[in-house]
Amino acid sequence: MKIPGEAKISIQIHCPQCGGDIAFLEDAHVIRCEFCGSALLIAGREGVLRYVLPAQVRDRQAAQAQALEHLTGLGKRSLRPAEAFLFYAPFWRMRGSVYLWVFGLKPMKVETEAGVPPPMERMKVLLTRLLDHTVPGYAGLEIGLSSLGVRSQALRLQSFDREHLEKRGSFLPLGTLLEQVQAEADRFSNLFFEAEGLITEVNLQSFVGKEFSVIYFPIWYVDCQHAEGREVLLIDAAGKKVLRIIPDGSSILKKLKGEESRKSFKFSELRFLPFRCPNCGWAFSFYPLSVLHFCSTCRRLWGEKGGEWAEVEYQTFWPALNQSMKELFWVPFWRFRTFIESGGERLETMADLYRIAPPPRVINQEKEGRRPIYFYIPAVKFRNPQLIHTLASRLTFM
């Protein structure tokens, strides 16, 4: 199924209707099974989800052969493979968008006399970047891999299901708390982020759309004996490379077999809802990236909340008189009723807001004093965040 959008992570599940494989991109909210034709809404994303990166080296003998070849290249002799098994190491994935408003001074591009600095003008710049990073979720081990890099984008992830749960003895315990990862995400959001050519006076930064998930990465544990003793090789089962050679693997075995690996963490699970209007049963139009869905039969708007369909109120701006409906299209905006507290003062109307942020036009104080403060934010994705800011500002202050 081809889905437009910027998501790069591909996820695979089993269709709850027919059991067939369904692959979809991470940003999709609606999917369709190519085997039975079922359309499904994806629910259950409100918490921490688990995924498994499938192994590309699945055969035990193939892993042992790779280990022996690597040790032979290091000059080891009389090689004999011993214990070998596949296990999975957890990695936390942090994802979100960082927005930074920079207010400051910038030199004007004008000619000046020698030795005289150019005059300065006040500027504001909006900087944005996507944060998508992984860090180890296990504790007390060094396996030679500090991050998954692009592996999760190059290979299709599998949703953690009952089959994986039955093999939980092959999964290292999650040793890093969510609170620690959230603090690490905030630290990463501040790195490598500055406005060029601007003398900064004030920064306003926000890290929004935070999502945290756990990806289990496959690693072969191969114990090899040779003339000088024995060593354990840890092999990347996805990239087919040796990650690290350790003299003793008892610390890994202890964590896999110990009671620590059975400690619980409350994960979320993907759930699926029939993609039909819960009021009249009519099929919704198939828009994979939409979070809200309009029923063309009963004219109601629906979205997912807490794993169930929930109705969403909406209003429509009608066109001017003599304007043909066929010539128009509607762009959705979220509307937020807002109260602002500034310096001990509470701002409740547009007249209050205009006192601290005067618009470039004459306003009717009596009329604006009756208007509540509503912020309008585009409910569609734009590649240019500055465009989102411009549209939101114009509609809010119109």
> Phi-psi bin for 127: left (phi > 0), alpha (psi -120 to 50), beta?
beta
Q: Would 301 be classed as within a structural domain?
A: no
* Same domain, residue pair 186 and 251: yes
Beta bridge partners of 98: 129, 207
The percent of residues above 70 in pLDDT, for the chain, comes to 96
Q: Which pLDDT band holds residue 234 (cuts at 50, 70, 90)?
A: very high
Angstrom distance (rounded) from CA 237 to CA 302: 43
Last-in-domain residue among 221, 240, 262: 262
Angstrom distance (rounded) from CA 234 to CA 67: 9
Task: Give me the mean pLDDT over the 154-158 stretch.
Answer: 87
Q: Would 205 be classed as within a structural domain?
A: yes
CA dihedral 115, 119, 123, 125 (to 10 degrees): -20
Q: Token pair for residue 276?
A: 């039909």
Task: Give me the mean pLDDT over the 92-99 stretch.
Answer: 92
Between 8 and 293, the higher pLDDT residue:
293
Q: Would 214 be classed as within a structural domain?
A: yes
* Same domain, residue pair 255 and 344: no
Domain of 69? 60-147+160-262
The percent of residues above 90 in pLDDT, for the chain, comes to 49
Per the listing, tokens 């009608």 go with: 318
Nearest alpha carbon to residue 222 among 231, 214, 213: 231
pLDDT of residue 148: 92
Residue type, 220: W
* Same domain, residue pair 383 and 253: no
Task: Give me the mean pLDDT over the 338-350 stretch.
Answer: 88
Q: Would 7 be classed as within a structural domain?
A: no
* Same domain, residue pair 252 and 323: no
pLDDT of residue 232: 95
pLDDT of residue 70: 93
Task: Give me the mean pLDDT over the 39-45 stretch.
Answer: 92
**Cα-based distances in Å from 124 to 98, 105, 121, 193, 395:** 16, 8, 10, 15, 20
* Same domain, residue pair 175 and 245: yes
Q: Would 138 be classed as within a structural domain?
A: yes
Last-in-domain residue among 246, 262, 278: 262
- CB-CB contact of 151 with 132 (8 Å): no
> Which segment, 57-61, 264-268, 325-329, is predicted with the most confidence on average?
57-61
pTM of the predicted protein model: 0.85
> Phi-psi bin for 19: left (phi > 0), alpha (psi -120 to 50), beta?
left
* Same domain, residue pair 217 and 326: no
Q: For 140-154, 211-225, 256-270, 384-398, which range has the lowest pLDDT when averaged over its residues?
A: 256-270
pLDDT digits (tens, 9 = 90+) for 181-190: 999 999 988 8
Q: Report how many domains make up the chain.
A: 2
Beta bridge partners of 104: 123, 200
Return the number of other C-beta atoms located less than 10 Å from residue 336's C-beta: 11
* Same domain, residue pair 98 and 170: yes
* Same domain, residue pair 331 and 398: yes
Q: Which pLDDT band holds residue 2 (cuts at 50, 70, 90)?
A: very low
pLDDT of residue 283: 94
Return the number of other C-beta atoms located less than 10 Å from residue 107's C-beta: 14
Cα 198 to the center of its chain, rounded Å: 30
Q: In this model, does residue 236 exceed pLDDT 70?
A: yes
Contacts 24+ apart (CB under 8 A), 375-383: 375/335, 375/336, 375/338, 376/333, 376/334, 376/335, 376/336, 377/333, 377/334, 377/336, 378/331, 378/332, 378/333, 378/334, 379/292, 379/332, 379/333, 379/334, 380/331, 380/332, 381/5, 381/6, 381/289
pLDDT of residue 360: 80
pLDDT digits (tens, 9 = 90+) for 306-315: 889 999 999 9
Q: Would 119 be classed as within a structural domain?
A: yes
- As a whole number, the mean pLDDT across the chain is 88
Q: Would 43 be classed as within a structural domain?
A: no
